[in-house]
Amino acid sequence: MKKATAGKTAADEAPAGKTPAKKVAAKKTAAKKTAAKKTAAKKASAKTVAAKKSVTAKKTAAAKKSVTTKKTAAKTPATPAQQPAPKPPAKPESRTAMVRRARRMNRELAEVYPYAHPELDFRNSFELLVATVLSAQTTDLRVNQTTPALFAAYPTPEDMAAAEPERLEELIRPTGFFRAKAKSLLGLSTALRDRFDGEVPGRLEDLVTLPGVGRKTANVVLGNAFGVPGITVDTHFGRLVRRFRWTGQQDPEKVEAEIAEIFPKSEWTMLSHRVVFHGRRVCHSRKPACGACPIAHDCPSYGEGELDPEKAKKLLKYEMGGQPGQRLRPPADYPGQPAPPLAGR
């Protein structure tokens, strides 16, 4: 029995089913599992840290964006969504609608200015021709203050043609550009004396051949001295018909042609006077009195000027050379005419 016991090997003393080789393998496997768990734990920890950093970065970015947006909003005007929605653009006006509106405005201006007339003082066609030439780049009031002495000195074309240039220049100096105007007056007077027997011609074709006389001056003379209808496109007329959207042309001859197609020929002369009257008294260049305009409801440019009625009334200029707000009185040549109801129409 002792021999048998003594003959047992170390392998016989090991637990059943486990040999030393298996123990080593088991330890290695356990070590691998432990290492794998540690690796997984590290990865999980890294992911958590990355996730936390991402969340922090997003929060920081969002906070910065919010601050930037608030600063921008404080510096910039309200966004379109916060402002009143703009009005949709008006439908393009047809040619027929424009013509009807233009003629309606002309009828209303005829009621407002029943005595519209050229505001230059004259007694005959020669005086009107001279006064119109002098009116360039100055006011009718200044011309009317100048012409009495001028016509007293040179009442006829023959007299003016023989005038000394220096004396003529001195008489018309207040109207400005007196040297150029004196040259024109001497030239047209000489032409009237030599080519038209001292008479002002009654045809456009003849008038425009005179020195210093263009279509505007010719139409003034024809319409007011000869009764020949004509459209006078001066500064006021051109400005208003463009503001009224009757034409978009800038060249005076093109403006004249387009306006002539809108109105009957019989209206041309008086239409010119009415529009000029309105431009001088109400529809001023820089600040029109929209709140006191009698044709505001038909004007597509309504709103460009003062809209408050009381403030607009103070902008009105009635009497030629008068003060703003002064009531319009008919000229002495038109007694009994009522003052036009400019306000409250």
Active site members: 216, 234
**2-20 exposure pattern, b = at least 16 Cβ within 10 A, e = fewer:** eeeeeeeeeeeeeeeeeee
**Residue 6 to residues 11, 16, 182, 247: CA-CA distances in angstroms?**
13, 19, 157, 134
Cβ-proximal residues to 57 (8 Å cutoff; 6+ apart), any chain: none
Residue whose C-alpha is closest to residue 179's, from 215, 205, 212, 214? 212
Neighbours of 222 (CB within 10 A): 24
The answer to whether 221 touches 200, Cβ cutoff 8 Å, is yes
The distance from CA 221 to its chain's CA centroid, rounded to whole angstroms, is: 33
Six-digit token string for 11 = 């392998």
Q: Say how far apart CA 160 and CA 155 lie, in whole Å.
A: 7
Alpha carbons within 13 A on the beta-carbon side of 80: 3
DSSP 156: S
Residue reference for tokens 């003594």: 6
In three-state secondary structure terms, 317 is strand
